[in-house]
Structures are given as structure tokens and as C-alpha cells.
Structure 1
Amino acid sequence: MEEKMFTRGGMDRLQARTDRENFPYPRGDGKVKLVNAAWLANHLHDDNLTIVDVQPNIHDYIQEHIPGAVYLTEGVLRVSNRGFPGSYSPNACLQESFRRAGIEADSPVVVYTGKGTFSSAGDGLGQTMMAYTLAKYGHNRVYLLDGGIDTWKSEGGELSQDYPAVEPSSFTAEVRDDYPIGYEEFRQIKDNDDVVVLDARPAKVYEGKGPWRKAGHIPGAVNLPWKSLMDEGNPALLKSNDELDMILEEHGVDRSKTVICSCGTGREATNEFVLLKWFYLYPNVRIYEGSFTEWVTHPDNPVVEGPEPREARAEAAPAR
């Protein structure tokens, strides 16, 4: 019965979701896994565990954080490059940032964020952005805390205002360049029948209400707002697998195809990349880091406004 319900995903997807309650999730050797507050509470004092707090503002961290967590702002991950605003920082800069946080490539690191008790500026994306970047630059055991610090608190987790004594690590940045897809390759394959392009931005932005020089979205991109995958009250908490399955089916996210995750600047897309590649074990997932920002820097590239992936083509009037 379930096989018929999930025809595109089939048994592969069902197998990937059967052990959601067994953490770290899923099983196997994936670079990024999901853990929950109960798992972290049981492993909080493991000698080889590093906890990274990526709350939206340093004052959020100062006011409260999970015991032992080191603050690592998401802002170090990207800088302008030749004027383009959404480029990743140089390898040496990321390497030094991870070293100062005491992160070792083969030791587990738990990443979490929150709404921000002080700033109220958290949107939930900090932890997928950090998890993706760690894995891209060579980390092998990234654990993402489902629900972040807000779920941790709601389940009675201990909080601290102490700063841990951190010894710098010997982390070496080694880029896994099979995760992102560059502009030229993206442009060449995005319209292929075996490719699905997702746009993770909110529907109103996808349809044409964003800040870019051109309004709308990349032709052919299917709108799958990343927030639709998350709990309504906590943007760092994933919905149940049953709910996620239905959403993916409704949007035609077929695991037999290459799925390219995109958004506005490549940040929102990390949410869907992490979900599909590492939690749902899709075999061919890429992330277009340049996303819509890069697409519209090329004046000749077309865009589409409105809710449909492509513009409706009016049929020619019959000859009289």
C-alpha cells in the first residue's frame, strides 16, 4: 500500500524514512545527519563532541546557549568576490574559522540555531547553511539539531552563559566540489527532462515580489518554499516524514532525476539540499549556489513572473 502511495520515491524513500526515531538519522555514512534534543542530552559531555551555536546574533548566544557550545557566526561563511555578494569565503578563511571553533573533521559536531531570545532575528536557516558549508569544506560528521535551541528549551534542556575553553583544531579545508553546480553547467542542463529545478523562496518572491533587478524566477524552476517543510511554530524543526513525503510528491520531486536546489542567494536552498541529499538519500542532488542572484546578473537570461514554472504559451489563432 505504501509503495503505491509514494510512486516516485518508491521503496528507496520509504527505507530512508523508517528510522527517523533512531538518531543520528538516517543510518549509513552520510556527512550530515539529524539528531534530536534527547540524543544531544545523552551525549552532551562526550569528549570528542563539538557544539556550534549559530544563533542569529552574538547577544542571543551571550544570553543563553547550550552548555559547551562555541559561537560561530554564519556571517563568516560568505563575502563579496569581485563585487558578487554571495560568494563563499576563501578556503583559508573558512579553515581558520573552523579551527578557532575547535572543529575536527572526523569528530562529531552538532550545529544548532534559534529564533533569538535577544534579537528575535532567527529564521531557522543558520543551521542548514552551516551544516552544508562544513560538509562542503571537508567535515565528515555533521549533526543538525532538529528544532534547534528552541526545542532544546521546550524539552527542559539545560542552558548556560559560560564560554567554553576551546583549543584550536587542525581542521583542513578540502572542498567537495560535487555538491554545487556552477552557472554554465546549470544553464546547460536545467531544462533536461531528467532534471528538476527547485526554487526554495517564498511564493510571493518566486512570483515576482523580490528585490532583484528582474522579478520572478528562473524558467522551469518549481516553487517549493523551504518553510513549507518546517514546523509552523519553529522554522528549525522539520515536519514529520509523512508530511514531507506528501509535499515532495505534490511538487514532483522525483528521486530518479537530478534535483537542483536553488533560491535567491543559495542560502534557503541549503535547507532542501540537506533534506534531500542526506536525510532522504536522493542519489543525484546539486545546489546552485549562485541561484537567482547570479542568474539575473546575465542581462539576456529570461525570467518568469507568476505562479507557474514557465510562461503560458498562447496557441496560434486558427487560419481563416
Structure 2
Amino acid sequence: MEQLLRVLIAVAERQNFSRAAEDLHMTQPAVSQYIKSLEQALGCKLLERNNKYVRLNKAGEIVYYHAKEILGMYERMQNLVHDLMYTPSGHLTIGASYTYGEYVLPHVIARLRELYPRITPSITIHNSRVISAQVANRQLDVGIVESEHVGEKMNVEPFADDQMYVIVSSDHRLARQSEVRVEQLADETWIVREEGSGTREAAEKLFLSLQIEPSKRMEFGSTQVIKESVEAGLGISLLSDWAIRKEQKLKTLHILPVAGTPLTRKFSIVTQSDSFRTKALELFLELLRENACNSSGLVIK
């Protein structure tokens, strides 16, 4: 059954029998036979096919979703047994929100690879809501998120503080003011992240605390794009200190003296509350906590 599920996943993700066969190092007829065997075992068709594409039907979507979960649990079982007998190794699936994933996590992964080269991490970067959902669905072993809204039956461990500042281009007129009034902020164009992002959540908290509701907004799904947009003078934003350290050194971004800032939020580790933890995961969590303790010395090159 394990191989049947792996073949279905490959076909579903590649949407093509030939490309799936290449990925699996199999022949196309063999892939077709595996799909046929799985459909016979389940008593229903799983795919819609024509000359242009191969797609999951409703039954196929259900099987695909659970196949990912089943194979993830199978792999974790193998890793747990392996940990009892050998040095730390195996695959580790890690998810992180954009701020932590893009500006901090690479340093932690580099340290992990240096100390434990037999552990092979796989990284997913998305907003906090998506990462939490993927941990809940067992698609990820661990997530690092900044949102306070995490699903039930999840183990949530706050482990690091993050300071957030209102930023403008160094050439912006507000950058030359020693004091910035709230009404000035309300009149500016705010560049914010998408719904589901922890950074967006923090911005909404700031608006609430300042009692403003900016009418001019631009929404982007990337912190990097927001920084570039602010540098270009398109508006102002609220971003993490970790995300803007390089720009501060280069003096391309300026922090505004705004009441109620810096806004402090927590990064949290999210894991399944009912799961055994592999040695690889435990070692990774130790490195996360260690990095948080030393975060003031983190160098962004």
C-alpha cells in the first residue's frame, strides 16, 4: 500500500504519468498499473484524464490528503526506530513564517548541518496560518510562527521575542522629523502583508492601539517586496527588526519614533501535541532555543 500511495502522490503533484514515472524511476506502464491497483483496492476512480492533463477527482483529493498524512507518519515511525539504534539522522520537515524563515532560520539550519550532517532538513516558508495548518495535518514536523491563532490540540512554545518598528524610506519627509503625529500616520499609504500573516496581525494591533484606520493600503505577500516598496517611497510599513537589519546598516530605511513602538510579539514553536519526537527534531528545537538566547548577536550579512 505504501508504494501505491507514493505513486498516487507523484501523479497528482506532477499531473502527468510520464513525469511521475521519471521522478519514481519507473516506467509509465508500471505507474498506470499502480494507479489501477489502488483504484481497484478502493473501489473507485481517483483521477480525471484527458490528452492535456491528469487531475484528482473528489475521491482522489480525499485519498491524496490522507496519503500525505499516512506516509508522513510512516516516515516518522522509521525515524524514531532509527534513533534508538544510530546517530541522529533522517528527514526533518520544517515550516516557518516569512520573517523567521527568511531572516533567521537559514542561520539555524546552517548550524544544524554543521553539527548533524546526517539530518536532512526540508524547508517550507509561508504565512503563519498556513504553516500551523500544515503542522496540524502532519505535513510538517515543526512550525515556527508569529501568529497567536493556532489550532487546537497543538503544542505551542513561545521561544523568542521580536521587536517591530514603523519604517519609511530614508528620503521620506517623515524621516526628518523628531516627532511623528498619529494623524500623519493615518494619512500615509500603509504597505501590509496578506491576511493570515503574523506581520499583518501585528499591524492591525498597532492601528487599533493608535486608533487609526488607514484608508490607503497596499497588500503584498512578501516581506522583501514590502521593503523594496518602502525604499522606493511607495509608503510606510511595520516590520520586524530582524527583517530590516541589513537596510538599517545601509541606511536605506529609517525607523520612525512612533508611540507604542517597538511593538513586541512572540515567535512560537508549533508541534503536534500527541506525537513522538525524533532525535532530529529534538536537536533542531534545542538549536532554535539556543539561537533565541543569542539573537542579539545574530549577524545578517
Shorter-chain TM-score: what band? under 0.3
TM-score by length of 1: 0.21
Of structures 1 and 2, the larger Rg is shown by 2
TM-score scaled by length of structure 2: 0.22
**Quick check: which one's strand share is greater?**
2
